[in-house]
Amino acid sequence: MHVLSAHAPRRLSEDWQCVSTPAGACATPASLDAFTQWIDAPVPGTIASALRASGVSEDALAQPFAHADHWYRVKLRGQGKRRLRFNGLATIAEVWLDDRKLLESDSMFVAHDLDVDLNGEHALHLCFRSIAPALAAKRGRARWRPKLAQPATLRNVRTTLLGHMNGWCPTIQPAGPWRSIELIGESKTCIDGIDMRTRVDGSDGVLDITIRYFHAQEQTPVQLECGEAKATLEWQDAHTLAGSARVPNVRVWYPHTHGEPSRYAVKISDIDLGEVGFRTIEVDRGADGKGFQVVVNGVPVFARGACWTSADIVALDAPRDKLDHLFQLIRDAGLNIVRVSGITLYESDTFYELADKHGVLVWQDFAFANFDYPDDEAFRNSVQREAEQFLTRTRRFASLAVLCGGSEVHQQAAMLGLPFDAYQQRLFTEWLPGAIAAQRPDVAYVVNSPSAAPGDTVSMPFGTRGGITHYYGVPAYQRSFDDVRRAQVRFASECLAFANVPDDVALRALPNPRFHEPRWKAGVARDPGSAWDFDDVREYYMQSLYRQDVPRLRYEDPARYLELSRAVVADVIGAVFSEWRREGSSCSGGIVWNLLDVRPGAGWGVIDVLGAPKSALHGLARVLQPVQALILDEGLEGLDVHLVNETAREIRARVELACLREGSVKVAGGACDIVLQPRSVQRVSANALIGAFFDSAYAYRFGPRAHDATHVVLRDAETGEVLSEAFHFPDPSIGERRDVGLSVSVEQDDQGWSLIVQTAQLARWVHVVDPNYHARIDWFHLAPGSTKRIPLVARHANVRAAPEGDVCAVNASRSAAYRAA
């Protein structure tokens, strides 16, 4: 809650200590005297984050913490009735006040309230018991056993799979108070809870609000403000205020790619309750009922983004500034959706608040993945409580757009040969949909990721031509780019996993970053049981696109190997999303696996463990902006230019095309003026722009190629401002490096440092190498004779050094060095 301190609960985050014991060693706090190795403990946090704070290296944190006992203690002082709120205890937990056990919990996803009478000083103890007995308990027989997480009896325990997926993430098993602990009732006006929900009624926005105080209040009139709108709240009883405010001609909330993420400040009297947005969410399933397109405020959205893991896999709770930085990177790259996968957990209120602020949709899986879950009454009750608490907690957030039953449950069963009826679970078909209908009817629901279209009992749940798919034809299954169109993807809630190589600064975080040696491979993800990993996938495309002898390159020129490794993922990602965004595409969205690395190395993340964007994220940024030019190779039909305008305004533009030889000589070209209608995609053929036949795709092969690159510029017709650029290479291989005439200078203004980069010839995949700064715009092609301004971002807050480094291009024989005066 964003309320003033006099009205807010007090967070119990100071003076905690913790100690680990063998499982079952201490039945009560009184038995802890034998254990003296107490250490300071951050709360919220985990036993792993406490050890990290005490100086234990992250490598040493990969332990089965969930199979030991861990005790936390703090002194609690006060007088009178109070409420203790535990927002998340991982996982089998007990709460003791002095010598009394007040609570037993068996789910890390459920919050608990305890009413207590305080009389001076008390000892509050939390015990996090080993999950081994729960894993050993019999609870029916599963119809299938996934390889993703071990043991298979994790299906019975409501805990995250993070830490239990060997080969996918570090085996740091969560144990501890991973969400905040609050003390409610210290002030007379302390607010116990706020429930806000918004809706759109015609052209107006309506805010419904209920406020609950812990203590009885004087029932004086209270005015509610929502922006400029005002209303008087009514007392339901001495503890509860409720009412509504109507905002005339409301400014609706949009994802940032399609409009403004408008929000309204909410206040009562002197209490700031935060901000809310108003929007509608629908799903367009297409004429055949097999599609899936998110529609926001009546506007169809091409949803593109990445899957979220955790911004801190040790503590499971990241500070606001770190999350804000990540959402800024998401926005800069043109992404507009984040999927929180079922293998992870439910994110914090801060996460959702920042998604609202930055205009990023959230697809939230419930925390279920791969397993055949129990169907008994106790499990149902636990799920019901978990779902209702999450849905009511996040009801105020406009960004929550899609709720999904879980990850790869249908796929897992179907791939093991089970028929459709065998993998239907009431959890996904009844329990979760029922909770959503009651608590968040304004949000779309998907039964599973992936899953066939509703009513389709014949297609495989991972089929690409209908419903929700996980598309890995390119790259994991090493299909050619033709497969992207052949697959006819409707919506990919996972796609494009690579072992994405971070920059040299992040590689130095590895103890010995030599390729293919065991410590390197520890940071490279692989599917359980597979004979290949995602290094192999990336190297396949290096060989096929760049025609490289990859093993020889790796050991003869390791720096070049790394450079081309970074370039090729940007090439592949750009090609796939260009296909999906073209006019006539069947695809309405794609979500890359993953946004964040969970450990140092070449992980799935498009952002490294230090928070710096990798080449993959910059490759996405080159093709995912709201106003975008794209080039598609149509073979004998030549090149098509697709012009995307997702904004609500008409754009009068000029399209310019140039076919270049030897990086600078124009051998063909043309231009035309065009009007880009709002919310549209238009196609213009290269031949139409040139005004005559030219083998722009080099499909006819009448002799040697006349050109080696095509460059398209989309400009504002009135100002000449470059709105977007696109490049096509008939031969994608890099070829021999040459001096392309790169030059760079450094400038400083009120916004910070920037590089001014120029080139005489076409420079491919220009990138900045600087130990203290990363480039906000990086891994891009630079046309001959053009200039680009590149803002620099300090890698950490205490950087004092001036920029010093190199600007490089993968086709350049020399880099351009810079050093600020």
Q: Does domain 627-728 have CATH number 2.60.40.10?
A: yes
How do residues 417-450 score in pLDDT, each as one tens digit? 999 999 999 999 999 999 999 999 999 999 999 9
Asked if 208 contacts 224 with a C-beta cutoff of 8 angstroms, the reply is no
Q: Tell me the C-alpha to C-alpha distance, in Å, between residue 299 and each of 50, 285, 400, 584, 678.
A: 47, 14, 16, 17, 11
Q: How confident is the model at residue 520, as a pLDDT?
A: 86
**Spatial separation of the C-alpha atoms in residues 720 and 716, rounded to whole Å:** 5
Mean pLDDT of 24-52: 97
Instruction: Evaluate whether 402 touches 443 at the Cβ level (below 8 Å).
Output: yes
Using alpha carbons only, give the angle 316, 317, 320 rounded to the nearest 5 degrees: 150
Strands 773-775 and 787-794: antiparallel
| pLDDT tens, position by position, 315-335 | 999 999 999 999 999 999 999
Identity of the residue numbered 584: G
pLDDT at 4 over 70: no
Residue with the two structure tokens 């190297």: 539
Contacts of 648 (CB under 8 A, 6+ apart): 258, 259, 678, 679
pLDDT band of 140, cuts 50, 70, 90: confident
Q: Among residues 87, 86, 94, which one has the least CA distance to residue 70?
A: 94
Instruction: Output the pLDDT for position 626.
Output: 98
Q: What are phi and psi of 220, to 5 degrees?
A: -90, 160
Question: What are the sequence ranges of the domains in the chain?
Answer: 10-184, 191-276, 288-621, 627-728, 743-819
Strand order in the sheet with 787-794: 743-749, 752-758, 787-794, 773-775
Residue 3 has pLDDT above 60, yes or no: no
Using DSSP, state whether 38 is helix, strand or coil.
Answer: coil
Q: In this model, does residue 1 exceed pLDDT 60? A: no
pLDDT of residue 508: 84
Q: What is the DSSP letter of 253?
A: B
CATH number given to 191-276:
2.60.40.10
Q: How many CA atoms lie within 13 A of 492 on its CB side?
A: 28
Q: Compute the mean pLDDT over every residue in the chain, rounded to the nearest whole number.
A: 96
Q: Which of 339, 277, 268 is nearest to 309 (CA)?
A: 339
| Tens digit of each residue's pLDDT (9 = 90 or more) over 366-421 | 999 999 999 999 999 999 999 999 999 999 999 999 999 999 999 999 999 999 99
Cβ atoms 565, 538 nearer than 8 A: yes
Q: Coil, helix or strand for 437?
A: helix
| pLDDT per residue as tens digits for the range 91-136 | 999 999 999 999 999 999 999 999 999 999 999 999 999 999 999 9
Residue corresponding to tokens 């937990």: 93
The strand pair at 752-758 and 787-794 is best described as: antiparallel
Q: What is the mean pLDDT of residues 475-495?
A: 97
Identify the pLDDT of residue 85: 98
Q: According to the model, what pLDDT value does residue 531 have?
A: 87
- Structural domain 10-184, CATH architecture: Sandwich (2.60)
Classified by CATH at the fold level, domain 288-621 comes out as: TIM Barrel (3.20.20)
Give me the mean pLDDT over the 695-720 stretch.
Answer: 96
- Average pLDDT of the segment spanning 29-41: 95
Question: Among candidates 235, 236, 244, which has minimal Cα distance to 266?
Answer: 244
Question: Parallel, antiparallel, or unpaired: how do β-strands 337-340 and 361-365 relate?
Answer: parallel
- Asked if residue 339 has pLDDT above 80, the reply is yes
Q: Which residues of 330-341 are buried (b: 16+ CB within 10 A; e: fewer)?
A: bbbbbbbbbbbb
- Rounded CA-CA distance 519/512 in Å is 7
Q: Which CATH superfamily is domain 743-819 in?
A: Immunoglobulins (2.60.40.10)
What CA–CA distance (Å, rounded) separates 193 from 212? 5
CA distance linking residue 698 with residue 776, whole number of Å: 34
Tokens of 489: 């993807």
Average pLDDT for residues 280-287, to the nearest whole number? Answer: 98
**Cα–Cα distance measured from residue 564 to residue 568, given in angstroms and rounded to the nearest whole number:** 6
Per-residue pLDDT at 5: 67
Residues 241/211, Cβ–Cβ less than 8 Å? yes
Between CA 167 and CA 174, with CA 168 as vertex, the angle to 5 degrees is 105
pLDDT 10s digits, 157-202: 999 999 999 878 889 999 999 999 999 999 999 999 999 999 999 9
SS3 799: coil
Tokens read off for 681: 């995609």
How many other CB atoms are found less than 10 A from the CB of residue 636? 8
What pTM was estimated for this model as a whole? 0.97
Percent of the chain with pLDDT over 90: 92
Same fold: 10-184 with 191-276: no
217 Cβ contact partners less than 8 Å away, ≥ 6 residues apart: 189, 235, 238, 239
| Tens of pLDDT, residues 744-783 | 999 999 999 999 999 999 999 999 999 999 999 999 999 9
Confidence at residue 103, expressed as pLDDT on a 0 to 100 scale: 98
Over the stretch 635-687, which tens digit does the pLDDT of each residue have? 999 999 999 999 999 999 999 999 999 999 999 999 999 999 999 999 999 99
The pLDDT assigned to 2 comes to 56
CA torsion sign, 502 to 503 to 505 to 511? positive
pLDDT tens profile 502-538 = 999 999 877 766 777 888 888 888 887 788 999 999 9
Q: pLDDT tier at 816 (50, 70, 90 boundaries)?
A: very high
- Element at 534 (helix H, strand E): helix 534-546
pLDDT attached to residue 139: 83
Tokens 């600020």 belong to residue:
820
